[in-house]
Each structure stands twice: as C-alpha cells, then as structure tokens.
Amino acid sequence: MHGAFLAAVSSTAFAVAAPAGAATLNLLIWEAYIDERILKDFTAETGIEVRQTFYDSGDARDEILADPNSNVDVVVTNENGAKLYGNRGVIMAIDMENVPALADYAESWAKRCGGYGVPYLWGTMGILYRPDKITTPPTSWADMMKPAESLRGHIAMYDDYAEAFVAPLALLGKSVNANDNETLKAAYELMKAQAPYVLTYDYVITSIQSADKGPNIYMALGYSGDQYTLNDKVGTPGLWRYVVPKEGTLSWLDCIAVNARSGNKDIALQLVDYISNARNGARNAEKLNMPTASTAAMALLPRDIQSNPEIYAAPEILAKSQLQEELTVQSVQARRRIISSLAQFSDAR
C-alpha cells in the first residue's frame, strides 16, 4: 500500500507543468541519493532546473516509470530494471556518442546496465544497527532473521520483492534470485517467524523519519552507505553502523538512464553525462560515502575513502556476493504475495 500510494503521489507531481519558457527535467531517484550541489551547479551552468521525486522501493519506482503520463525524464534504476525497461523501449539506449562520460567506465561495469544506462553507484546489502542498543555487532543473517528477544518490535525490514528476500535466502544458502516454490516457501517460513520482531516493512530511510517508529528501530535491512544517510537524518554521527553478514549478500548496481518517452531527451542526456563525468562522479561518491564505478572518478577520491571497507567492500566479501538476475513472473508474484501478507500482519499488530 505504501509503495502504491507513493507512486500515485509522485506521478501527479511529475505531471505538473513547468513555468512557461523554463527548461525543466524531472529526475526519479531514491531520497538523499545525489549531491544536491551537482544539480545546483548544473542549473547554474545550463539554466535547466532539475526536479527530484523520490521513491522508496523498486515497486514504487517501476510503477511510476511504467506510467506513460508520469513525465519522467531521467531515472536511477537497478541494473535489472535498466535491461528490462531498455528491452521494452521504455528507456533509451546510451553509448559513448550520446553520453561521452561513459568512456570512463570499464566495460565490465557498463555492460551490466545493458546499454541502456550509465553505472551510477554500487554496493552491497547488509545489516544496519545501532551499537548503543546492540553491543555485540551482528555477524550473521541469523542475527536479523532469528533475532534476540531484546529486538522484538525493533527491526525494520523492506517491502521490495527482490531485496526483502536477500537475508532469508542467503541464510538458507540459496541464490538470492531463487524462483522455485520450495525455496521461496522456506524463505517465507523464516520471514513469518521473524515477523513479530519487525516494527515496519518500510525502507529504513523513510521509517527513520517517523516520530513514532524512528527512535524504536535498532536494526534494519539496508544498503551499504545507508548508515551515513541515517546518521545525517538523526543528526548523530556514528549512531548507525553497517555490516555484511558472513553468509554473503547481494552486490548491487544502480544505473542512471533516460526515459524514451521524455520530451527533453537531448538535455536529459546532457544531465546524465554531467552527473557521470569524472569530477561529479567523485563529488557524488565522496558526499554520499558510496562507491563509484567510474575509473576516472575513483582516481580523484582521497585515499582514505578508496580504502574504507565500509564503502568499498573487501574482496572476500565481494567473492561471496551474488549479482541480481531477472526473476520469473511467477517468482515476482509469489514474492509480492509473501511481502503483502507480512506487511498486513504488521499493520494489524
């Protein structure tokens, strides 16, 4: 329900006309997922305003992007979304001719966007936790999926049909891209047993801003880099930390792309190139404390950032990480039913 509501509001926001004569681009993106100075500098240099609309789940993003009336110009989506929507003609092909900055990205990174986007930021999924409430740092997905009694009502999970299953499937030693009913049923049993300990299934960046939920979240499923956003939101540096469990995890990549239905394709491509160039790629990575896939941007970052294991995961962690793959329609439907039932249980409680 939350994702559908967000999508409806956002689509309406995108449909609002810009002032006459003003050049405006609509950017669909996660909250707090770009250095605001980059967008301000782009406007100062080009006269083109950039309006952001935020989503807080893949489902909400996809619903907005699939709506032909949403008026999206530029979107940040995951690598699977870039390929899927690119193949369907929803987002346009990108190459070094229309986005010269793409030349700064190794082919191994660029091909993960399927030719329909530029690698934006990447990272892992793991456990976010408050060390003032959890004195022994979590090391396993079991610490989240089979939590201590002290965590009852203090965990934030996630209602995304893909990412929500990373923790239970990794704990079971299965592929995070599992499609078969037997494996999904086993994951559901773990998730159902965990449910009484879950305070919310809203994305933690959203729920931390709730006056009644935020202070009561001690552990959360999230992405590498989220700890810095959480600390900024609560105004307490170091309150939140991040760890990748020993069983392994998902290694994700987001891509920045242009909506094929945009009426502003030329300036949309200009914005993608501006955000993706070496200077701004480095600024963005440093501001957000997240890894860049740009070789040229990486070279501009301070050494302490390049060697920070909370930002650039150690090779042994990446060796146990899995990449996202496209799920079957049946798997997506089953996963959505599971998430919906768990969220309903949480709301009823």
What's the CA gap between 61 and 77, in Å, rounded?
8
Question: Would you give the DSSP letter of residue 136?
Answer: S
Residue 45 phi, psi (nearest 5): -85, -30
CB-facing half-sphere around the CA of 315: CA atoms within 13 A: 0
Taking Cα atoms as reference points, which of 182, 343, 183, 314 lies closest to residue 249? Answer: 314
- For 123-250+323-348, CATH gives 3.40.190.10
Q: Please give the full DSSP string across 153-186, using - where no structure is assigned.
A: T-EE----TTGGGHHHHHHTT--TT---HHHHHH
| In contact, 13 and 53? CB cutoff 8 Å | yes
Does an H or E element contain 335, and which?
helix 329-348
What's the CA gap between 147 and 245, in Å, rounded?
14
What's the CA gap between 135 and 21, in Å, rounded?
57
| In contact, 213 and 199? CB cutoff 8 Å | yes
What's the CA gap between 278 and 280, in Å, rounded?
6
What's the CA gap between 129 and 232, in Å, rounded?
15
| In contact, 251 and 122? CB cutoff 8 Å | yes
The first and second tokens of residue 171, run together, are: 């704990």
pLDDT tens-place string over residues 253-263: 999 999 999 99
Residue partners of 36: CB distance under 8 A and separation at least 6: none
What's the CA gap between 23 and 28, in Å, rounded?
17
pLDDT tens-place string over residues 102-151: 999 999 999 999 999 999 999 999 999 999 999 999 999 999 999 999 99
pTM of the model: 0.88
Print pLDDT tens along the chain (349 aa): 233 333 333 333 444 444 445 599 999 999 999 999 999 999 999 999 999 999 988 889 999 998 988 999 999 999 999 999 999 999 999 999 999 999 999 999 999 999 999 999 999 999 999 999 999 999 999 999 999 999 999 999 999 999 999 999 999 999 999 999 999 999 999 999 999 999 999 999 999 999 999 999 999 999 999 999 999 999 999 999 999 999 999 999 999 999 999 999 999 999 999 999 999 999 999 999 999 999 999 999 999 999 998 888 888 988 999 999 999 999 999 999 999 999 887 766 6
The pLDDT score that the predictor gives to residue 347 is: 67
Domain 2-122+251-313 has CATH 2.40.160.60: no
Count other Cβ atoms within 10 Å, centred on residue 95: 11
The domain ranges of the chain are 2-122+251-313, 123-250+323-348
Residue 344 phi, psi (nearest 5): -65, -40
